[in-house]
Structure 1
Amino acid sequence: MNTTSEATTGEVRLIAYLVPKPGKEEDLAAAIRDISADVLREPGCAAYIAHQSCERPGTIVMYEVWEDDAALDVHVASAPFQRLAGRFDELLGEPLKLERLQLLT
């Protein structure tokens, strides 16, 4: 998974959408809960907050804030994320969707 198109600096805010396969909603939620505490301890992680969509029950919407692209890249390579990613074929009904955010000032 390529999280950056080119090297950039500065805080990275993103939303990740994880849409479960039918019948895998609870398994996906449990998998996210299982890694959340470890991810929050990763260097450069300022926020890693899981939500469930009200419009699409079972869909997990993650709000993440990373110190910079390097911290996000370390997260993607980390054991907790790789453990989750290793289950994507089993759990996800759609590909993981990442949406970068820009803070309005």
Structure 2
Amino acid sequence: MSTTVVADIAPLPGREEEVGRALRAAVTRVRREDAGCERYELNTDPRDGSYVMVEQWADAAALDAHAAGPAFAELSAALEGLLARPIAVRALTPVG
């Protein structure tokens, strides 16, 4: 069963562009390298400069592999010290 992930990413004030660059690089890499990735889409909320990543994974194993993989590790390192708060992640399962 597929898994949808929604991640809310809040940059520190003045760091929005730097965070955006790191996230866009991750989108390119994940789409190219991570098997089981069906959707990896970056969005922004212009009201507050936050980002929302919407992800769709073929199954929980694909999501787990992504979380343990190099693209995720690289993104985590790139975002170190740039966020106002920890990334809020919601893993969702379709019900209908």
TM-score computed with the length of structure 2 as normaliser: 0.89
Tell me the residue number matched to 1:52: 44
SS at match of 1:30: helix
**TM-score scaled to structure 1, two decimals?**
0.82
Deviations 1:39-87 (A, max 9, x none): 012100000000001442x211011000111111111111111111113
Q: What's the % identity of the aligned pairs?
A: 33
Q: Unaligned 5+ residue runs, structure 1?
A: 1-9
CA distance in 1 between partners of 2:78 and 2:22 (Å): 9
Give structure 2 stretches of 5+ with no counterpart.
Answer: none
Judging by fraction of residues, say which structure has more strand. Answer: 2
Residue number in structure 2 paired with 1:87:
78
Displacement after TM superposition at 1:91 (Å): 1.3
- Alignment match, 2:14: 23
Matched position secondary structure for 1:100: strand
Aligned equivalents of 2:93, 2:71: Cα separation in 1: 26
Query: Among residues 20, 29, 52, which one is paired with 1:38 in the alignment?
Result: 29
Runs of 4+ in 1 over 2 A off after TM superposition: 100-105
Secondary structure (helix, strand or coil) at the match of 1:17 reads: strand
State the SS of the aligned residue for 1:28. helix
Name the Cα RMSD after superposition.
Answer: 1.4
Q: CA deviation at 1:90?
A: 1.6
1:90-105 matches, within 5 Å, as 90-105=81-96
- Count of aligned residue pairs for this structure pair: 95
